Structure 1
Amino acid sequence: MLTVDFDRLGLRPGDRVLDMGAGGGRHAFEAYRRGGDVLAFDMDADELSGVRDLFVAMREAGEVPEGAEADVKQGDALALPFADGEFDRIIAAEVLEHIPADIQAIEELARVLRPGGTMAVSVPRWFPEIVNWKLSDDYHNVPYGHIRIYSDKELIGKLENAGLTYEGKDYAHGLHAPYWWIKCAVGVTNDDHPAVKAYHRLLVWEIMKQPRALRLAGRVLDPLIGKSLVLYVTKPVSDPHAA
């Protein structure tokens, strides 16, 4: 289940790609399939171990083009262990809402993106997210949980203040917002509730089978209640923040 549009990101074979806050690796895997030189970066060593194993399995199964590379690295988003301008493409999907010092994290992402490079940043969208917060304290009052709700304007401003140029936005996962509203209403850990189980089956069907009816429903719901806001930015070739 991808949040980022890789065509809009502009990823080409051989591009050096950073998936910052890679988690289970869903975007890193797609970048690898498309021939990128991929680095999955996260603070969770256990998650990264699973990502590394799947990178190996993808290579052995012949799922990636010749010349594509992939690796993992554990570290801190506030002090990325990479050179200035090291990456052609950066993905930061559903991670900034977890980081207290989000401005510092954005500045680090801007630093390691090459001039002319592109970045996709996704966060929970304001309206679906505020409904979740209103329905359940347990949804966000957990260790490493969501600590803020972004408006489009706020996040665009923070990216532009880091010297990046806003190119456009999308909304994604319109079918998923009601699922989280249901979970927050009945208890976020109550996975055995009949309504939660029924809607979960619907989402699994959507992801695994991609039926035409649900694809069409998603296209209608994404701009209305899409759970994720996705912003696309570029780093100017002439960096106004360069010394």
Structure 2
Amino acid sequence: MLTVDFDRLRVTPGSRVLDLGCGAGRHAFEAYRRGAEVTAFDQDEAELDNVATMFAAMAETGEAGAGGSAETRAGDALDLPFADGTFDAVIAAEILEHVPEDDKAIWELTRVVKPGGTVAVTVPRYWPERVCWALSDAYHEVEGGHVRIYRASELVAKLRDAGLHPVGSGHAHALHSPYWWLKCAVGVDNDEHPLVRAYHKVLVWDLMSRPALTRIAERLLDPVLGKSVVLYLTKPEVPGATR
């Protein structure tokens, strides 16, 4: 289940891509399939072990794009262990809402992308997220949970201040908003509730089968109901610099 549109991010074979806060690795895997040179970065080393296992499986079964490479790195998003301008593209999907010092993380991800490179940042959309917070304290008051709700304009301003130039935006995962409202209403840990189980089955069916009915419905609903907002940005070229 991808949140980022890789065509808009301009990921092509040979692109150096950083998946910052990669989690389970869904975006890193897609970049690898496209033949990119991928670094999956996270502070959770156990999660990174799972990502590395999947990278190895993809290489073994021929799922990796020709010429691509993949590695995992553990560390802190506030102090990235990469030189300035290392990556052609940086993905920060559903991470900044977890980071108390988000300005530092934004400056760091901006630092490591090349001039002329692209960035995709996704966070929970303001109003669907506000509903979740209103329904349940347990939804966000957990260790490592969401520490803020962004308005898109606020996040764009932070990214501009760091030196990035917005070039587009979108919304994703409209079908997931009602699912999370339901979980918040009945208890975020109550996965056995009949309505939660039934809705989860629908989401799994949609993910695995990609039926036209749900794909069309989500595409129509995303602008209104999409759970995530996705921002696409570039880092301006340095005048007179040679690449």
Query: Is the structural similarity TM-score above 0.5?
Result: yes
State the match for 1:110 in structure 2. Answer: 110
State the match for 2:167 in structure 1. Answer: 167
Per-residue CA shift, 1:154-205, capped at 9, x if unaligned?
0000000000001110000000000000000000000011110010001001
Matched AA of 1:61? T
Is the 2:106–2:162 Cα contact (8 Å) retained in structure 1? yes
Question: C-alpha separation between the residues in 2 aligned to 1:45 and 1:60?
Answer: 23
Question: C-alpha separation between the residues in 2 aligned to 1:168 and 1:216?
Answer: 22
State the match for 1:215 in structure 2. Answer: 215
Per-residue CA shift, 1:116-147, capped at 9, x if unaligned?
00000000000100000000000000000000
Q: Where does structure 1 differ by over 6 angstroms across 4 or more consecutive aligned residues?
A: none
Question: C-alpha separation between the residues in 2 aligned to 1:99 and 1:128?
Answer: 20
Matches within 5 A, 1:70-149: 70-149=70-149
Question: C-alpha separation between the residues in 1 aligned to 2:213 and 2:93?
Answer: 27
Matched AA of 1:222? D
What secondary structure sits across from 2:157 in the alignment? helix
What secondary structure sits across from 1:114 in the alignment? strand
Matches within 5 A, 1:15-26: 15-26=15-26
Matched AA of 2:192? D
Is the 2:13–2:66 Cα contact (8 Å) retained in structure 1? no
Question: C-alpha separation between the residues in 1 aligned to 2:36 and 2:52?
Answer: 15
Structure 2 length normalisation: TM-score?
A: 0.97
How many residues are aligned here?
Answer: 239
Structure 2 residue ranges without an equivalent (≥5): none
State the match for 1:237 in structure 2. Answer: 237
Question: C-alpha separation between the residues in 2 aligned to 1:165 and 1:65?
Answer: 29
Q: Displacement of 1:65 after TM fit?
A: 2.5
Superposition RMSD in Å: 0.7
* Residues 1:226 and 2:223 aligned together: no
Question: C-alpha separation between the residues in 1 aligned to 2:77 and 2:123?
Answer: 16
Question: C-alpha separation between the residues in 2 aligned to 1:20 and 1:219?
Answer: 26
